């Protein structure tokens, strides 16, 4: 294998195989069984040596201090920091067809860039100091997005408990005029119901069942003592100027005990809020490494900036930043060949930022070959419990639930079997992640497509796209999502794997593409065999075996069709034209899945 040779020699041979597409060889059979490994192993090594995980962690610590929403100061400071890091690494603000460059694009913010400096709720104690129950200093994210400032000195209001708060009966016979309403329903639902009855604001104790305040292996603590809360928002209403708080189980217990102790006497709370709204434009940071062979064709990698968490998504922002720097550095040093296609890096507002980029770059979109989304990429899995996952480009696993291929706690999306289109991206990226994992014992898993981040936007536009993330995270969207829950080593694993995958997708010639076809076909045969064998067991145990057998036959047929398409998709992997012999070999491998 070339990896056993000196790195410079391995790279020079790799460049010849990758960029030229190995023209003049027999496309019916790869030059050697190690073409793919001899290309990707040195690429992984070059990226590994240059990926700065300490700088990535510094980005996380800086970015996670802000409540980042498009148009607010924290979001813009994040964009500015990453731009400065890329400029330091040699990305230029002067656009060039041949050199790495960067730019910022802006568009009108859809909504308002909210933030706050004060958000406190305390139980009023006549004759003595108020008892602070929720505050920005203590809970970080307790105040809901779109909460308005209180008058100077705050407001004092009755506290009214409506129990669950999601039924009309919960509100019957209760005077909510000017009150702060306490309930277990989602903050938005509680706010709409309570504000319609004249309330001043709400306190929501909603907390998903999968969230947990205890670390793995820890002695469980009573739920009522948990200080964890999940951030949320309430509707923007300039007329009502209301507010909302999310409360931890500990805070909810404190408030309800105060109500119980008071009996028929009222309990009042003192609320002080200082918040701001901004209509500044939303900014997207774009960096590119131009392709040398087909520069109008692109591989896109995106990380969203908004949200207040360290893992979600300061880690994605940081991972992508150091990924881009490592890739450019390896190329500048001659350790990694420049890509045949352009590699585009995006830091943006989740979903809407991708939609805007697609809207503003319709010609570029036509030539986006593949896309990677970077969301929650840096979790310390020992602390969060969230395994690293590749959320796959939709395959039949997204349509039919299988016990051996479970969804995450996020839950399945609405995917129609008729719209599935097989592609190589799932198996190629998994293979490269596994190669990176061999260095450190990094655990790599996949889950069926579920949707919900930027890969969904590009996927809906017809671009094969997948998500790199961690789940189920016991601190997801909570005040406990802090830098100490992130792992610099995890960001390096993810960053190097995504960079290596993107580089290969941007650079492959025919020889590499045929090995990818063989790889995809091998994994496809294994998947079809498992579906057939395990599905037959399910059918036998079913109450209606005949119907179950028909169902299983449909599922196996769907996988065969999907993998036939996935093998054929290697034609679009090749940078430049393909030969008739290449097409014939790809058809031969794909035909094995057609009955």
Q: Model-level pTM?
A: 0.93
Question: What strands lie across the sheet with 268-276, from one edge to the other?
Answer: 131-134, 115-123, 268-276, 155-161, 180-183, 201-204, 243-246
Report the pLDDT averaged over residues 514-533: 97
Contact (Cβ atoms closer than 8 angstroms) between residue 346 and residue 361? no
Q: Is the pLDDT of residue 399 over 50?
A: yes
Say which range, 29-38, 301-310, 323-332, has the weakest mean pLDDT: 29-38
Report the pLDDT averaged over residues 409-438: 95
Strand, helix or coil for residue 349? coil
pLDDT tens profile 524-562 = 999 999 999 999 999 999 999 999 999 999 999 999 999
* Structure token digits, residue 377: 């990429």
Contact (Cβ atoms closer than 8 angstroms) between residue 311 and residue 475? yes
pLDDT tens profile 208-225 = 888 878 877 778 899 999
The percent of residues above 70 in pLDDT, for the chain, comes to 94
Q: Is the pLDDT of residue 11 over 70?
A: no
Nearest to 281 by CA among 60, 79, 84: 79
- Compute and round to an integer the Cα radius of gyration of the chain: 27
Give the per-residue pLDDT at 31. 37
Distance CA 351, CA 348 (A): 9
Report the pLDDT averaged over residues 435-444: 95
* Structure token digits, residue 160: 């009214």
pLDDT tens profile 88-130 = 999 998 877 778 999 999 999 877 899 999 999 999 998 889 9
pLDDT tens profile 323-374 = 999 999 999 999 999 999 999 999 999 999 999 999 999 999 999 999 999 9
Report the pLDDT averaged over residues 483-490: 98
Q: Is the pLDDT of residue 502 over 90?
A: yes
Distance CA 105, CA 353 (A): 10
pLDDT tens profile 48-101 = 999 999 999 999 999 999 999 999 999 999 999 999 999 999 999 887 777 899
Mind giving me the DSSP string for 368-387? EEEEEEE-S--B-HHHH--E
Report the pLDDT averaged over residues 280-302: 97
Give the pLDDT band (50/70/90) at residue 34.
low
Q: Is the pLDDT of residue 307 over 90?
A: yes
The phi, psi pair for 34, rounded to 5°, reads -115, 15
Say which range, 27-41, 403-417, 509-523, has the weakest mean pLDDT: 27-41
Report the pLDDT averaged over residues 260-278: 96
Report the pLDDT averaged over residues 138-167: 97
Give the pLDDT band (50/70/90) at residue 483.
very high
Q: Is the pLDDT of residue 189 over 60?
A: yes
Nearest to 481 by CA among 272, 313, 233, 316: 313
* Structure token digits, residue 591: 């035909």
């Amino acid at each position: 294998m070339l990896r056993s040779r000196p790195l410079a020699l391995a790279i020079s041979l790799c460049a010849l195989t990758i960029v030229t597409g190995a023209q003049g060889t027999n496309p019916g059979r790869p030059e050697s069984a190690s073409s793919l490994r001899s290309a990707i192993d040195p690429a992984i090594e070059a990226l590994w040596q240059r990926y700065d995980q300490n700088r990535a962690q510094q980005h996380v610590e800086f970015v996670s201090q802000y409540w980042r929403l498009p148009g607010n100061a924290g979001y813009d400071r994040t964009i500015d920091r990453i731009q400065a890091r890329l400029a330091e690494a040699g990305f230029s603000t002067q656009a060039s067809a041949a050199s790495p460059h960067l730019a910022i694009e802006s568009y009108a913010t859809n909504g308002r860039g909210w933030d706050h400096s004060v958000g406190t709720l305390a139980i009023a104690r006549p004759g003595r100091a108020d008892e602070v129950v929720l505050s920005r200093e203590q809970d970080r994210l307790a105040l809901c997005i779109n909460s308005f400032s209180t008058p100077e000195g705050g407001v004092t209001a009755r506290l009214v408990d409506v129990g669950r708060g999601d039924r009309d009966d919960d509100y019957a016979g209760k005077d909510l005029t000017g009150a702060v309403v306490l309930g277990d329903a989602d903050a938005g639902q509680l706010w709409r119901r309570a504000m319609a009855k004249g309330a001043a604001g709400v306190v929501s104790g909603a907390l998903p069942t999968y969230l947990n305040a205890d670390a793995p292996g820890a002695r469980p603590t009573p739920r009522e003592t948990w200080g964890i809360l999940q951030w949320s928002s309430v509707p923007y209403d300039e007329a009502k100027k209301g507010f909302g708080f999310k409360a931890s189980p500990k805070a909810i217990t404190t408030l309800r005990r105060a109500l119980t102790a008071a009996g028929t006497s009222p309990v009042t709370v003192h609320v002080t809020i200082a918040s701001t709204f901004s209509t500044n434009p939303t900014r997207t940071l774009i960096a590119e490494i131009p392709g040398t062979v087909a520069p109008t064709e692109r591989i896109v990698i995106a990380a969203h900036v908004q949200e207040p968490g360290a893992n979600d998504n300061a880690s994605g922002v940081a991972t992508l930043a150091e990924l881009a720097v490592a890739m450019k550095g390896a190329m500048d040093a001659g350790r990694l060949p420049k890509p045949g296609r352009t590699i585009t890096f995006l830091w943006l507002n989740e979903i809407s930022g991708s939609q805007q980029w697609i809207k503003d770059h319709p010609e570029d979109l036509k030539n986006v070959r593949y896309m990677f989304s970077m969301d929650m990429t840096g979790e310390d899995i020992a602390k969060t419990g969230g395994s690293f996952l590749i959320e796959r480009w939709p395959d039949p696993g997204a349509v039919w639930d299988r016990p051996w291929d479970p969804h995450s706690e996020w839950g399945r999306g609405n995917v129609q079997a008729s719209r599935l289109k097989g592609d190589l991206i799932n198996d190629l990226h998994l293979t490269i992640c596994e190669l990176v994992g061999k260095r450190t014992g990094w655990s790599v898993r996949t889950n069926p497509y579920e949707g919900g981040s930027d890969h969904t936007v590009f996927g809906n536009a017809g671009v094969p796209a997948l998500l790199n993330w961690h789940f189920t995270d016991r601190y997801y969207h909570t005040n406990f999502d802090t830098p100490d829950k992130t792992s610099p080593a995890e960001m390096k694993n993810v960053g190097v794997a995504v960079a290596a995958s993107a580089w290969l997708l941007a650079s492959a010639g025919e020889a590499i593409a045929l090995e990818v076809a063989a790889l995809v076909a091998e994994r496809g045969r294994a998947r079809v065999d498992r579906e057939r064998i395990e599905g037959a067991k399910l059918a036998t145990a079913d109450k209606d075996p005949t119907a179950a057998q028909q169902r299983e036959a449909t599922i196996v047929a769907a996988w065969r069709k999907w993998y036939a398409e996935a093998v054929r998709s290697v034609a679009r992997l090749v940078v430049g034209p393909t030969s008739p012999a290449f097409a014939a070999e790809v058809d031969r491998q794909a035909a094995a899945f057609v009955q």
